[in-house]
Amino acid sequence: MEIARRSNGCPRAIKKSIAVAAGVTLVALSALTAPPGVSGAGRYAAPVTSSYGTDPLQTVTLYPAGARLAILVHGGGFRSSAMDASHLAPEAKDLQKAGITAAIVNYRDDAAAPAFPNEVDDVVAGARAAMALTGATRVSLIGGSSGGTLASLAAESLGTQASSVFPLSGTEDLPGALAYWTAVGGKLGSLHIGNITTALGGADPALYSPAALVSSALAGQTWYVYNSATEVQPVSQADAMTAALTAQGVPVTETIVPGHGHAWAYWKAIRAQVIAAVLA
């Protein structure tokens, strides 16, 4: 399969509750075994789910393996449920088998409160909770669709604590997305406009647009921006993020996957690239 890439050429055994920040405590943890390794009999440590907040959806599910830690963030139009998070189990297992500790971070649903800033804060808190559990000092963030947007915003908030970022078909330019879906119109346009405006809760879209928030402070991170060629998310969203990162000297590679798969739908096509980048 031919995949188009664009790069800017920049270099490239816990059993008890743990307090990770004021008012945030991890609870209901089973023992985490030592990293199982990536070879041998093919046995891997069972996933362990813990809470990082008081809402039932504020959970982090760890798939323990090696020292590298990758945070997985589900999409779904900024809606959230336990089932949404569980859908990322196959991807988490792929990373675990490669020797990467994976953590699926779930977040509050935007029906209760706007996604911005609440879901972004949740992903940041969940990532830091996973770091506290594993002893990792830096994380990679991988998010698909609206989860790609959240992963981008979380990485911008985490700063030097984030090493690499992989938004898969994320909405990176919210004003541009609103203009695009207004022009598309119809049920599809209304659906996407509704998802974004509900997530904003009346806030200025520029305040939560990942491309608008890029700064040179992110230069210590490496970004890998993905989209497919003919999917529902226009390639212009990936282009906007790549342009913003490049302008600030942040290492970035944009990859356009053939076909119309959206976000996690093209995971198998990019899995080897993502794993290699996380381990780099």
Distance CA 268, CA 71 (A): 18
Q: How many domains does the chain have?
A: 1
Give the ranges where the chain is alpha helix by DSSP (H): 82-86, 89-97, 115-134, 146-158, 174-184, 186-200, 235-247, 267-279
Give me the CATH number covering residue 89: 3.40.50.1820
For 247: left if phi > 0, alpha if psi spans -120 to 50, otherwise beta; the answer is: alpha
Query: Which pLDDT value is given to residue 6?
Result: 52
Domain holding 229, by residue range, is: 4-279
Q: Could you read off the pLDDT of 143-157 as tens digits, one per residue?
A: 999 999 999 999 999
Please report the pLDDT score of residue 111 as a whole number: 85
Per-residue pLDDT tens over the stretch 146-202: 999 999 999 999 999 999 999 999 999 999 999 999 999 999 999 999 999 999 999
Strands 48-51 and 59-63: antiparallel
For residues 110 and 256, give the distance between their C-alpha atoms in angstroms, rounded to a whole number.
30
Of the ranges 22-31, 54-63, 95-104, which one carries the lowest mean pLDDT score? Answer: 22-31
